[in-house]
């Protein structure tokens, strides 16, 4: 190998998976974890791979993107997924774990590899050599400053403010119309959901009185100073949002031939236009309330959500514009993994940790990097997170809105369509893994 030593910063899900995978490929790994010397507002222990929120890794069903991701990671040899299965507690069709047992199993896997040295203490400077930064969404101020120097100040965000994303196939196209402001009807990059005065006023009443997520103490006022949620804008006056995100100027509803009283614009998330986001509707409403309130919008009555809107503290880089296709900072020995890349979710963190290890190994033995099929859950997420054409990058978890549509054009129920996505993805992944025995099998020395 060209090099055989790697520093991994962060002992969470991504960092632990990465360190284990690197060690299994012959690297001497220094795994740096700032706890217990320095803690974060969200952590409660000094254990590796602590689950700071839910104890659920989401669905195991193949007709869900979360279940497909697990099937892909199992084929790719994820150690933390195996730990999760061994720490599982009853949870129906989901994979939920005993938090303490899970962390203990991960720590045992790390301890079983003598070529991993765990170093406790805050990293305030990025070391020389080959480094994987997997510092998580609450990256320390000192390390955040170092990352900022590396990628540029404008490329590092400290707050996650994402609008809901809906499944295009569940939208009522008899009501929605395609038009960019001041362009001809039927043209443009946006779908528009028109509201009359009565519909608008009912929507605003629901939006401003709906239940909101209770923020953690450390998120507080700074979050709303960084980005006001739509419901807060609406509270400043009944027409405030009608002169902002819901302004109808330049639009003509083809059903009436007139400008609507207000409109919500939807922008495509991908070139296939299988998913749309609600422009300007970053929100702090609970998921259940988002579903209720947005179902009041004409054309969205039956909309299904690929992702609900979220707002919280989250340190992440503008990955599509500052990282390469392997999540590396071009021209350096530094690669990123976990939520700092803008990928969202427990298993997504594990997956990017695995990818960081594989791509570091590929670099060391001078073979092609990992290029997962874009029809898979992980391949589609990586594509979204590293495509320079991605606009307004916000953290994203795996979802079927990111994968290309099925090519046969057959009409299917949602469940059958998702199962077909999964079948296609696993066939493509199996073929890819068979071609890449240099990374996924054989002699790794």
pLDDT in tens, 382-407: 999 999 988 888 889 999 999 999 98
pLDDT at residue 42 in the model = 62
Comparison of pLDDT for 9 and 213, the residue scoring more: 9
pLDDT tens sequence across 166-196: 999 999 999 999 998 777 666 677 899 999 9
- Going by C-beta distance under 8 Å and a sequence separation of 6 or more, which residues neighbour residue 152? 322
Q: What residues contact 431, with CB distance under 8 A and at least 6 apart? A: none
Q: Is there a contact between 141 and 123 (Cβ–Cβ < 8 Å)?
A: no
Which range has the worst mean pLDDT, 30-39, 181-190, 196-205, 236-245?
181-190
Return the domain boundaries, the chain.
Answer: 5-158+315-440, 165-308
pLDDT higher at 89 or 69: 69
> According to the annotation, is 14 in a ligand binding site?
yes
Give pLDDT tens digits for 96-132.
898 889 999 999 999 999 999 999 999 999 999 999 9
The band of 361, judged by pLDDT with boundaries at 50, 70 and 90, is: very high
Q: At what angle are helices 287-294 and 197-209 packed, to 10 degrees?
A: 170
Q: Is 142 annotated for ligand binding?
A: no
Cα–Cα distance, 377 to 158 (Å, whole number) = 26
The architecture (CATH level 2) of 5-158+315-440 comes to 3-Layer(bba) Sandwich (3.50)
Beta pairing, strands 310-317 & 88-89: unpaired
The band of 444, judged by pLDDT with boundaries at 50, 70 and 90, is: very low
- Provide the pLDDT confidence category of residue 310 given band limits of 50, 70 and 90: confident
Q: Are 350 and 106 in contact (CB under 8 A)?
A: no
Domain 165-308, CATH: 2.40.30
This prediction's pTM = 0.79
How much is the pLDDT for 272?
Answer: 83
What percentage of the chain carries pLDDT values higher than 90?
71
Residue 64 has pLDDT above 70, yes or no: yes
Does the annotation place 441 within a ligand binding site? Answer: no
What's the per-residue H, E or C state across 192-216?
EEEECHHHHHHHHHHHHHCCECCCC
Residue 41 has pLDDT above 70, yes or no: no
SS3 content of the chain, % helix, strand, coil (to 5): 35, 20, 45
379 among the known binding-site residues?
no
pLDDT tens-digit series, residues 138-159: 788 899 999 999 998 777 766 6
pLDDT exceeds cutoff 50 at 443: no
Radius of gyration (Cα) for the chain, nearest Å?
23
The count of C-alpha atoms lying within 13 angstroms of the C-alpha of 207, restricted to the half-sphere facing its C-beta, is 26
The average pLDDT across 49-70 equals 92
- Measured CA to CA, the distance from residue 176 to residue 167 in angstroms comes to 14
Q: Which of 47-56, 363-372, 420-429 has the lowest mean pLDDT?
A: 47-56
pLDDT at 217 over 60: no
Q: Output 298 or 89, whichever has higher pLDDT.
A: 298
């Amino acid at each position: 190998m060209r090099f055989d030593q790697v520093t991994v910063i962060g002992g969470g899900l991504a960092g632990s998976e990465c360190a284990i995978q690197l060690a299994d490929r012959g690297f001497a790994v220094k795994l740096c974890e700032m706890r217990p010397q320095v803690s974060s507002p969200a952590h409660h222990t000094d254990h590796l791979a602590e689950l700071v929120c839910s104890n659920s890794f989401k669905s195991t069903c193949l007709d869900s993107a979360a279940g497909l991701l697990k099937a892909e990671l199992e084929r790719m040899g994820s150690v933390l997924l195996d730990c999760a299965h061994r720490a599982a507690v009853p949870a129906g069709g989901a994979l939920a774990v005993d938090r303490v047992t899970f962390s203990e199993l991960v720590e045992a896997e790390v301890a079983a590899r003598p070529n991993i040295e765990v170093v406790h203490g805050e990293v305030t400077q990025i070391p020389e050599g080959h480094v994987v930064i997997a510092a998580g969404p609450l990256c320390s101020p000192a390390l955040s400053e170092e990352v900022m120097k590396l990628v540029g100040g404008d490329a590092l965000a400290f707050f996650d403010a994402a609008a809901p994303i809906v499944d295009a196939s569940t939208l009522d196209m008899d009501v929605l119309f395609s038009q960019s402001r001041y362009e001809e009807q039927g043209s443009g990059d946006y779908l528009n959901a028109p509201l009359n005065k009565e519909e608008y006023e009912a929507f605003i009443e629901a939006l401003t009185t709906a239940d909101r997520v209770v923020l953690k103490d450390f998120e507080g006022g700074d979050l709303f100073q960084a980005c006001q949620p739509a419901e807060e804008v609406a509270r400043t006056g009944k027409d405030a949002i009608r002169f902002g995100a819901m302004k109808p100027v330049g639009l003509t509803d083809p059903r009436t031939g007139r400008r609507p009283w207000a409109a919500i614009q939807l922008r495509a998330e991908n070139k296939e236009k299988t998913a749309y986001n609600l422009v300007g509707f970053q929100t702090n409403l609970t998921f259940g309330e988002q579903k209720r309130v947005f179902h009041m919008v004409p054309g969205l009555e039956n909309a299904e959500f690929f992702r609900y809107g979220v707002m919280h503290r989250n340190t992440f880089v503008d990955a599509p514009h500052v990282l390469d296709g392997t999540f590396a900072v071009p021209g350096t020995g530094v690669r990123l993994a976990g939520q700092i890349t803008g990928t969202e979710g427990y298993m997504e963190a594990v997956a990017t940790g695995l990818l960081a290890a594989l791509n570091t190994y590929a670099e060391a033995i001078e073979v092609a990097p990992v290029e997962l099929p874009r029809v898979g859950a992980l391949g589609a997420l990586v594509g979204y997170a590293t495509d320079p054409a991605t606009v307004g990058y916000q953290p994203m978890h795996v979802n079927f809105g990111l994968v290309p549509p099925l090519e046969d054009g057959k009409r299917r129920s949602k469940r059958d369509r998702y199962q077909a996505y999964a079948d296609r993805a696993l066939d493509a992944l199996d073929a890819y893994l068979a071609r890449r025995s240099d990374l996924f099998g054989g002699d790794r020395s």
